[in-house]
Structure 1
Amino acid sequence: MNKLGVHALVWEAGWSHDECSRAIARTAEVGYDFIEAPALDPGSIDVDFTRRQLEKNGIGINFSLGLDADTDISSGDREKAGRGTKRLEDAIALARDLGATHVCGILHSAFQKNAVPTTAAGVAMSVDIIGHVAEIAARSGITLGLEVVNRYESNVLNTASQAVEFCRRVNAPNVKAHLDVYHMNIEESDIASAIRDTGDYLGYFHTGDSHRGYMGSGSIDLAQVFRALVASGYEGPIAFESFSSRVVGQPLEGILGIWRNLWEDGQDLAAHALMYTRAQLKSAQETLKQAERSRLP
């Protein structure tokens, strides 16, 4: 059964003690299984305090992050790659100490708009480093989710098929594709087919909608998305991700282009997303039973 989570930026812009406490409490109150916390700076997260809040509220945690230009492991620059390796190792240590099962996001390259395409040497360097980090993560039972994002946020993995190829090159059982319906809506020719074709390489999934607002209020055919997830047998985590200028500050506001309020009430947004996701999963599961129910006597 899929564990359902929500991104912390639905609640708070940072991870101070007060922000951490509120975000975790609200996630639990709505009924999610886990919170996805940003680990852009792993060292800024108070492990002991966060653990106490998770235990108090009875939920889990996973982490996501994106490397920056100075830590880009696909840059071909060994000094940058070294800093990126350290950032990823720190994120794995954080996840280990808080009992997380997944570290996801743009782990494979810089989270930025690029002016030039990636290179074969850069991809090879990224593959080697992800393989090294995967060995460390495996010791703590942690899966790495390589997020497939649109062309304005990375020049390495923009489609599900690229993520599958990357995972095959790494050849580690705990390196998986992290698909996000918002990005897939931009880059994929057929979202449902891309999900099915990813198959067992799919390890983490982000739900949302075309404008990153309320699920079902955009232009994505989410019914087909959930049917594809269920039909492919995906049982991994599903996290709802949504951004609004009401919460998100810099640098993410600028990188993601979050210039307007798509919602005012994070509690209502998150509750709606959980209800919507559960309903879509149930509908998709019932769809698979139709052939059996339609047999002639």
Structure 2
Amino acid sequence: MTINKLGVHALVFSGGTTPDEVTYTVDQAKKAGYDILEMSLHDAVNLDVPSAKSALDAAGMDIVCSRGLAFDADVSSSDSAVVARGAKLLQDSLQITADLGGTHFTGALYSALGKYGQPLSAAGRANVVAVLQDLAKEAQTKGMTLGLEVCNRYETNVINTASQALTLADDIGEDNVLIHLDSYHMNIEEDDFVRPILLAGSRLGYIHVGENHRGYLGSGHLDFTSFFHALAQVEYAGAITFESFSSAVVSPTLSNDLAIWRNLWNDGPGLAKHAHNYMSTMLEANRGDL
């Protein structure tokens, strides 16, 4: 029987990455029953890595790191200087993930996080492939995997569906590049919640669970029964992480990038406990005899 580790995004608890904020976040994630904390590295310049690792180790929690890029450091650009800045950010973020004790680095590693005014160019896509080939090879030397998070059309023009992500992973051509599906983005771009999961199958490396409005699980219209049943059908054994955002907790950079303009909840710890119970129940109910 598959027992998935459950994770929670740090922005459920705190918008910053000072030592006190990270300690609080780790403590609250542990109290809510989670095995994994996901930290975005958008504010990595202010992250005290040794302090954060100490907090994680003391709590016995795993870490997954994620990020997207900025338009002035976009590896999908056709400008070589812009691409080089993005490649450096990715390499630095991979090292931070390793230094924190993480083995999986994921997110929109292939582009800026924001709305593009034009389709992806052939030159830009070639730059994505080249940069991520190098990053994947570096990750292999550290025993790490990379995740290609499939994001919606308003956050990237590189990959919006599981099928596109698989094609990009094939072109990168490294076995440690895995697919990261997110129910929030899937609701916008995919035909349903089943076929993309079945299509990705054994190449699924990470899962985000979030409502259509990114609030309390079960308070929106998403068909999580089909979603979790499909995960059981492909015998997905990886991490499942709850991701939710509200203007109640504001990141200096990421909240604007993700267009978090309204307050969907006030009590992060309460929200996290609710989500842990919800996901645990869904996993158990949809596991069945598979």
- Is the TM-score greater than 0.5? yes
TM-score normalised by L of structure 1 = 0.94
The aligned counterpart of 1:291 is none
- Which of 183, 200, 203 is the aligned partner of 2:202? 200
- Which of 245, 254, 257 is the aligned partner of 2:256? 254
Code of the residue aligned with 1:233 in structure 2: it is E
Task: Provide the C-alpha distance between the structure 1 equivalents of 2:69 and 2:131, rounded to a whole number of angstroms.
Answer: 13
Shift of 1:252: 2.5
Please give the per-residue CA displacement for 1:243-277, whole angstroms capped at 9, x wherever unaligned.
Answer: 00000244333222212111111111100111111
Task: Provide the C-alpha distance between the structure 2 equivalents of 1:209 and 1:136, rounded to a whole number of angstroms.
Answer: 34
DSSP-derived class of the 2:78 partner: coil
Does the 8 Å CA contact 2:9/2:242 hold for their aligned counterparts? yes
Task: Provide the C-alpha distance between the structure 1 equivalents of 2:56 and 2:258, rounded to a whole number of angstroms.
Answer: 28
Shift of 1:47: 1.3
The aligned counterpart of 2:280 is 278
1:106 aligns to 2:124 (yes or no):
no
The aligned counterpart of 1:134 is 136
The aligned counterpart of 2:63 is 61
Does the 8 Å CA contact 1:42/1:90 hold for their aligned counterparts? no
The aligned counterpart of 2:242 is 240
Shift of 1:140: 1.4
TM-score normalised by L of structure 2 = 0.97
User: How many equivalent pairs are there?
Assistant: 288
DSSP-derived class of the 2:107 partner: strand
The aligned counterpart of 1:167 is 169
The aligned counterpart of 1:11 is 13
The aligned counterpart of 1:147 is 149
Task: Provide the C-alpha distance between the structure 2 equivalents of 1:259 and 1:74, rounded to a whole number of angstroms.
Answer: 27
Code of the residue aligned with 2:282 in structure 1: it is Q
1:38 aligns to 2:25 (yes or no):
no
Does the 8 Å CA contact 1:118/1:155 hold for their aligned counterparts? yes
DSSP-derived class of the 2:288 partner: helix
Task: Provide the C-alpha distance between the structure 1 equivalents of 2:19 and 2:279, rounded to a whole number of angstroms.
Answer: 30
**What is the root-mean-square deviation of aligned Cα atoms in Å?**
1.1
Code of the residue aligned with 2:137 in structure 1: it is E
Task: Provide the C-alpha distance between the structure 2 equivalents of 1:92 and 1:254, rounded to a whole number of angstroms.
Answer: 24
Gaps of 5+ in 1: 289-297
The aligned counterpart of 1:123 is 125
Bigger relative CO (Cα 8 Å, ≥ 6 apart): 2
Gaps of 5+ in 2: none
User: What is the aligned-residue identity percentage?
Assistant: 45
Task: Provide the C-alpha distance between the structure 1 equivalents of 2:216 and 2:58, rounded to a whole number of angstroms.
Answer: 29
Code of the residue aligned with 1:55 in structure 2: it is D
Shift of 1:287: 5.4
Code of the residue aligned with 1:128 in structure 2: it is A
Code of the residue aligned with 2:174 in structure 1: it is A
DSSP-derived class of the 2:187 partner: helix
Task: Provide the C-alpha distance between the structure 1 equivalents of 2:259 and 2:81, rounded to a whole number of angstroms.
Answer: 29
1:181 aligns to 2:150 (yes or no):
no
Code of the residue aligned with 1:203 in structure 2: it is G
Does the 8 Å CA contact 2:193/2:223 hold for their aligned counterparts? no
Kindly report structure 1 stretches of 4+ aligned residues shifted beyond 3 Å. Answer: none
- Which of 263, 266, 273 is the aligned partner of 2:265? 263
